[in-house]
Structure 1
Amino acid sequence: MVVTQTCFGFFLLLSWGITVTEAKTQIFMGSNCQNTSQEPLSIAYQANLDKILAWMSSDAATSKGYNHTSIGINTTVYGQYDCRGDVAENFCQFCVSFASREAPKRCPNRVSAIVWYEYCMLRYSNESFFGKILTHPTWHALGTKNVSNMEEVRRGEGFVKSMITKATQESNHLYYLGSFNLSSTQKRFGMVHCGRDLSNAACRQCLEALLEQTHKCCEQNIGWFIWSGTCMIRYDDQMFYRLSNQTSSLPPSNDETDKQRGYRMSKILIISISVMGSIILCLSVYWWCYRKRVRKDWFRPSSFHKIQTEESWTTELPIIPLTTILQSTDNFSEACKLGEGGFGTVYKGILADGTQIAVKRLSKFSGQGSEEFNNEVLFIANLQHRNLVRLLACCLDENENILVYEYLPNKSLDFHLFDDEKRKQFDWKLRLRIINGTAKGILYLHEDSRVTVIHRDLKASNVLLDHDMNPKISDFGLARAFEIGQKQAKTKRVMGTYGYMAPEYVIQGLFSVKSDVFSFGVLVLEIIYGRKNSGLCMSEHGQTLLLYAWRTWGAGKCLETIDPMLEKSFIGSEIERCIQIGLLCVQEDAIDRPTMSQVVLMLANDTMILPKPKHPAFSIGIMASEVVYTSKSSKNVSNNDLTVSVSLPR
């Protein structure tokens, strides 16, 4: 069995005598390539596979948690996804989207694959499997505590059998979750679930086959989880499932009468109303601990062993309730708004303990927001560096997609850099520190993180400043990860910000680490000159900032034309060197640009001889008819903070 943590954690707090505190994670449970041989897929099959994976990822956003289809005629691909019955639509879509990217990696060059995550299953094959059960192979995971007496084994088996019966009734949709009182102080929870392409009879057959295997592997443990390609059973002493709209309350205990059930439901309602103060108190303590950066699990972890087998993205991202978000932002009031962009709106929030947060709320009308949201979770939650903004939590309640970041009080670099008054406080020492810090952040993305990450939207408005004016790179909505050995990628839809995009990216859709190097070079020159490299020519010179900097540097007059605000603080040799480094980064041919490791070295070593830069890529004009502009406005937005989406010809 392979069990690996990925990037979701769930946060549930209840109090008043019944206390359930649990941090859950979306866990990779296993994969199976169904004994298919590893050989290159035909072009037609690969094309159909790509289509069906894309279909599953998008369909999960609007379905009821399950669907299957086939694509192609002669090289047909059959595909299916199935989310656990207690999982809400937004969690289902995220899980399926992630699984659709991971499945081909788990079974490379295979025509069939099954991948199981804790909240969803995804499967594809060159043969139809709809409605067919799989009871071999199976996987299982065990808790750390053993059963103390055989009475629990007997009652636990009876409990699971009752859930199987209820799940295979017509009204229960092939899954059921419930609990029973083992004693006055102990409770047991369980869930059974089948792939919803199965009939009731086939589901019962699959679950009963799994239950039979528990006698050999699992029943002596208090917590266990067993599953095959088409069904699963889980049993635990902690409530591990989520109460979604379909399961708004716990199913009744097997030991309860109707009268007891009614009394219990009334009690739960009273408890739910009464616990809000306790929730706020617990959240305050939690966030205080998080601010102290306690890295251990504060809540009880999943009761299963987690075995790390390969280098992969792993994190526990807390889920914060929507009620807490609403309280912290005064119901998303206009007074709390920090800015607005293509993704949505960013608000300042204050938690009950006084902690300040930045709340990024996905707009329901954002065309690309869902993908950006997934990127933010996948990248920022797994990247840890002093020069990258820190993602604290997320919220997915009531169809909201919300990210919670550390709050950086000094706003973004463009807020200061392109304002005549605020720029006066930016002396050369501070600007050089921002250049160095930003360079180190990009170097981490390119070479020091677990995978190579291309940011694709590096600009002054995406460099935030903390209390001490240290830079932190933000907004990973357009970021892409490269596989080991991959040098560049090509896209038919160019996304970025005008004035910062490398020419090969704008014209051909090619992006690589050198694309970020180009953007960094533009940023360096903007910091030194205090001017924007927007699409508009500099009126007094009739040329772009890049060309202007290159010509004045070549003529030995660059110190005469830098930002006048620096005249009392600059060190001539340092500024000349930084201008030269910036010009090396914006050269037209990507192969001529340095890597970020070379940039960091050049910035740190003032005796290192630098090569002479070639002509910069100053002309990156695009036909207006080819460009879709998404305006990003905020209280203090820069004029060149304009996202560009370009559809390239096929």
Structure 2
Amino acid sequence: MDSLKLSTILLSLLSLATITQAQDPNYLVCSCPNTTTFTRNSTYQANLNLLLSSLSSNSTRNNINGFYNVSAGKDPDEVYGMFLCRGDVSNSVCRNCVNFATKDILKKCPIGKVATIWYDECELRYSNRNFFSAEYDSPVFFSNRYYVTVEPERFNQLVAITLSNISTRAASAPSGDKKFAVQQANYNLQILRTLVQCTPDLSTPDCRRCLAGAISKLGSCCDGKQGGIVIFARCNIRYELYEFYNATAAAEAVPAPPPVSLSPPPASGSETRRKGKGGVSTGLIIAIVIPVAVSLVLFYLGFCFLCRRAKSNKYFAQDNDVANEITTVESLQFDLSSIEDATNHFSADNKLGEGGFGAVYKVSKRFVRHLKSEEPRRSCIKI
């Protein structure tokens, strides 16, 4: 019976230890330069303990948006500290992460005046210099150990574009609110997940500059890698091909746009933008063909208009012009009475002028119609 009780107690303790271990935050990295240290039981250590206690107690507040900074002591032993929880975690997760960090950081950096520790859920930092007003300092970055095997350059481009897009959204949040954004992007049947965050006290320009500086460091640490993290004192960015944040909670914290994807690069023989011979794009062909086609149509319409106008003038001349061309000598052989009748007895009103063969008279329309009925193209008689 006693052995059964003992077994039950041991199982309970084991279960409790397992639950406690499961609730510990996911440790990422710690930075504590050995160049700046303090002496144990010194004033600096006392101020540091006071600061860590203040950070731990303030992590329970519900109106801090996952961020708090504080200082303790006076120069030269003054200590500056802060914590920042990931934008999608709950208050309880944030509190647990910060409480754990205040103890864990002293284990990993027992005598360092400057130290920073990061977990998936939060980060905690302290220093003997004031980093609150700095835009950003020297970053810490590390990457996923696996490389992208398919189109790594296009993957890097997609990462940079997506992080840049959500940086604008995060930075535009009012001062004091969470400056946090996440976004997904489709890549070769996988989902790229990205995250950016600034401390809520940063202004929009400062947050934007900090995140831009972090994105610019990706090439140094994470070129072609499946994931990467760049962390400054006041901002951080991260991307992975697996889900490292709570998408539902992130959407509730800061609504995100729908997933986006980078258009695939052109493939030979089946480009998204079709090309003609010699590699000329469809857009260029259209830009050339349309103006030429319009010009041809306008030329055709103008030609038809001129032809129609010329034809109209021709018909008008045929109906009204009584000075038609004389083509044969025989057409001039008329008797005198016909000529007198045609010229109204050689009236001066009908005289057109004189040439080398004598006076030229205009004949009457009645006479012309008479001539056309017998033999066409007679219009003028020389005397």
Q: Report the TM-score, using the length of structure 2 for normalisation.
A: 0.55
Partner residue in 2 for 1:50: 49
Change (3 A) 1:155 1:127: closer
CA distance in 1, matches of 2:250, 2:110: 36
CA distance in 1, matches of 2:154, 2:86: 29
Letter in 2 for 1:164: S
CA distance in 2, matches of 1:242, 1:8: 20
8 A Cα contact 1:68 1:81, kept in partner: yes
Q: Deviations over 1:520-557 (max 9, x none)?
A: xxxxxxxxxxxxxxxxxxxxxxxxxxxxxxxxxxxxxx
Q: Which has the higher helix share?
A: 2
CA distance in 2, matches of 1:93, 1:138: 24
Q: Is 2:26 aligned against 1:27?
A: yes
Q: Mapping of 1:565-584 within 5 angstroms?
A: none
Q: Deviations over 1:400-446 (max 9, x none)?
A: xxxxxxxxxxxxxxxxxxxxxxxxxxxxxxxxxxxxxxxxxxxxxxx
Q: Secondary structure at the match of 1:170?
A: coil
Partner residue in 1 for 2:162: 159
8 A Cα contact 1:87 1:244, kept in partner: no
Partner residue in 2 for 1:361: none
Deviation at 1:227, TM superposition (A): 2.3
Deviation at 1:34, TM superposition (A): 4.7
CA distance in 1, matches of 2:241, 2:31: 29
Q: Secondary structure at the match of 1:114?
A: strand
Partner residue in 1 for 2:205: 201
Q: Deviations over 1:580-614 (max 9, x none)?
A: xxxxxxxxxxxxxxxxxxxxxxxxxxxxxxxxxxx
Q: Is 2:123 aligned against 1:118?
A: no
CA distance in 1, matches of 2:211, 2:149: 22
Deviation at 1:45, TM superposition (A): 2.5
CA distance in 2, matches of 1:175, 1:198: 12
Letter in 1 for 2:27: F
Deviation at 1:135, TM superposition (A): 4.1
CA distance in 2, matches of 1:66, 1:72: 21
Q: Secondary structure at the match of 1:26?
A: coil
Q: 1:180 aligns with which of 185, 192, 195?
A: 185
Partner residue in 2 for 1:170: 173
Change (3 A) 1:8 1:203: farther
CA distance in 1, matches of 2:199, 2:34: 21
CA distance in 1, matches of 2:134, 2:127: 13
Change (3 A) 1:222 1:67: same
Q: Secondary structure at the match of 1:110?
A: coil
8 A Cα contact 2:193 2:243, kept in partner: yes
CA distance in 2, matches of 1:37, 1:187: 42
Q: Deviations over 1:13-37 (max 9, x none)?
A: xxxxxxxxxxxx8332222235543
8 A Cα contact 2:79 2:126, kept in partner: yes
Letter in 2 for 1:158: I
Letter in 2 for 1:66: F
Deviation at 1:141, TM superposition (A): 2.1
Deviation at 1:61, TM superposition (A): 1.4
Partner residue in 1 for 2:73: 72
Q: Report the TM-score, using the length of structure 1 for normalisation.
A: 0.34
8 A Cα contact 1:141 1:225, kept in partner: yes
8 A Cα contact 2:98 2:124, kept in partner: yes
Deviation at 1:187, TM superposition (A): 2.2
Deviation at 1:222, TM superposition (A): 2.5
Letter in 2 for 1:226: V
Deviation at 1:166, TM superposition (A): 1.1
Q: What is the CA RMSD across the aligned residues, in angstroms? A: 2.8
Q: Secondary structure at the match of 2:197?
A: strand
Letter in 2 for 1:54: S
Q: Which runs of 5+ in 1 are unaligned?
A: 1-5, 11-24, 257-650
8 A Cα contact 1:7 1:26, kept in partner: no
Letter in 1 for 2:166: M
Q: Secondary structure at the match of 2:26?
A: strand
Q: 1:98 aligns with which of 80, 97, 100?
A: 100
Q: Secondary structure at the match of 2:27?
A: strand
Q: Mapping of 1:246-265 within 5 angstroms?
A: 247-248=251-252, 251-253=256-258, 255=260
CA distance in 2, matches of 1:197, 1:133: 11
CA distance in 1, matches of 2:110, 2:41: 13
Q: Which runs of 5+ in 2 are unaligned?
A: 1-18, 262-383
Change (3 A) 1:53 1:218: same
CA distance in 1, matches of 2:225, 2:22: 24
Q: Secondary structure at the match of 2:51?
A: helix
Aligned residues: 236
